[in-house]
Structure formats: structure tokens, C-alpha cells
Amino acid sequence: MRVVILGSGRGSNAEAILLAQQAGGLGAAQVVQILSDQPDAGILALGARFGVPAAFVDPAPFRTKLEGPGEDRFIEAIQAARADLIVLAGFMRVVKPRFLGVFAGRVINLHPSLLPAFPGLDGIGQAFRAGVKATGCTVHHVTREVDAGKIIEQASVPVEPEDTLETLTAKVHAAEHRLLPAVIARLSRLPQ
Ligand code: GAR
């Protein structure tokens, strides 16, 4: 199963996936390409470290969505990599129907809350401020409705009275780093 990872930030989840792959823990999945919409994103530096092609793809003209010429460029790059699975790991841009049509059923996203609670931006901060007793992270299929696609798997993180936003953030990230590689490994073992 050929995996393409899309991310906009530091890439700690992409790193977790690549470390799992190095350790033989990614099932039949293999990361074949990393793509970012941010030219200076930390995620791009993982390419050289893990021997995986990594590239910035110009997402213009929009700032928060992938549509039009930028969408075409991403579609082309993903098709060139012959992706079976597209993993959005901190890709901070809304993907649109054309993209989802081309890669129907093959796009998954990681979100830092127990969806359907706290969709959108800053899932961890939203949960912390709401005072919930548990939050976590979700891997789900990507559909037209943001953060509303079918849930594949979730990991729960208890919120302790002494937690600060910082400690809770670290716990949710640690849960993400376990969950996402495990889900990819599991998907790779399903008949395609
Ligand atoms: C992760 O916490 C991921 O859940 C979140 O961005 C972070 C990326 O971190 N994604 C979203 O909020 C998507 N709505 P990373 O770049 O270190 O993997």
C-alpha cells in the first residue's frame, strides 16, 4: 500500500509513521512521498532523514482551502506517486470535492479531539477550555464536510485536574503518534 503524507507543520505524526515503518511496524504500507503546502515546514526535512521524497507543492491561490490550480498541482503530485492511501497529518487546508472525487475513499485525516466533539481548529484547546474529563484523537475518512467523515479509530486521553493546556497537548500528541501508524498498518492489511 503506497502512502503519501500531506502536512503543513512540524511533522511529528509523519515522523511517527516513518519511525514505525523503520521498525517494521507499518504492515504492508510504505510511505512513498511527503508533500507540504508550506515551503519551510518541518515535515519536509523528514524526507532526507528517512530517504523519502519530500516536496513543497504550491497551493495558490487560496489560503485555507485547496481548490483551483493548487488543487490540480497536488492531484498531479499524488498521482505521480501512485498513492493508494493519502494521509492528512496536520494538513491545515480544507480539501474540496474535486480532490476527493479523484481519490475517493482513499483520504484519511488525523484530528486532535474525539470527533464529533471539537471539530475545526485547535481541537485540544477547545476541549481544554470546555473542561471535559476526556479528550483524545481521531482518524477518520475525509468527506466534503470538514471533520465529519466516518470514524476509523479513536484514542482517548483522560484530562486530569492538574493538566494544563501544555501537558494535555503533549498527551494528545503522544496518543496521535501511537494511533495513526497503527491505523495505517491495519488498513494496509485489509484487501484493497
Ligand atoms: C496534529 O495534532 C493534528 O491532529 C493536527 O495538527 C497537528 C499536526 O502536528 N491536525 C489538525 O488540527 C487538523 N484539523 P504534526 O505536524 O506535528 O504532525
- State the DSSP string of the chain: -EEEEEESS--HHHHHHHHHHHTT-STT-EEEEEEESSTT-GGGGHHHHHT--EEE---TT-SSEE-THHHHHHHHHHHHTT-SEEEESS--SEE-HHHHHHTTT-EEEEESS-TTSS-SS-HHHHHHHHT-SEEEEEEEE--SSTT-SPEEEEEEEEPPTT--HHHHHHHHHHHHHHHHHHHHHHHHHS--
Q: Which of 6, 13, 31 to mutate to test the pocket of ligand 1 (most atoms within 8 A of CB)?
A: 13
What separation in Å is there between the alpha carbon of 90 and the centre of ligand 1?
Answer: 4
pLDDT of residue 192: 62
Residues of the chain under the 50 pLDDT cut: none
The full set of domains in the chain, from first to last, is 2-188 (3.40.50.170)
pLDDT of residue 33: 98
CA distances from 27 to 8, 34, 139, 180 (A): 25, 19, 17, 13
Name which of 73, 75, 52 is nearest 61 in CA terms.
73
Q: Which of 173, 177, 178 to mutate to test the pocket of ligand 1 (most atoms within 8 A of CB)?
A: 173
Encode pLDDT of 43-76 as tens digits: 999 999 999 999 999 999 999 999 999 999 999 9
pLDDT of residue 191: 75
Encode pLDDT of 146-168 as tens digits: 999 999 999 999 999 999 999 99
Q: Which atom of ligand 1 is nearest to the CA of 173?
A: 2
Please state, in angstroms and rounded to a whole number, the distance separating the CA atoms of residues 106 and 192. Answer: 10
Residue located nearest, by CA, to atom 6 of ligand 1: 90
Q: What is the pTM of this model?
A: 0.97
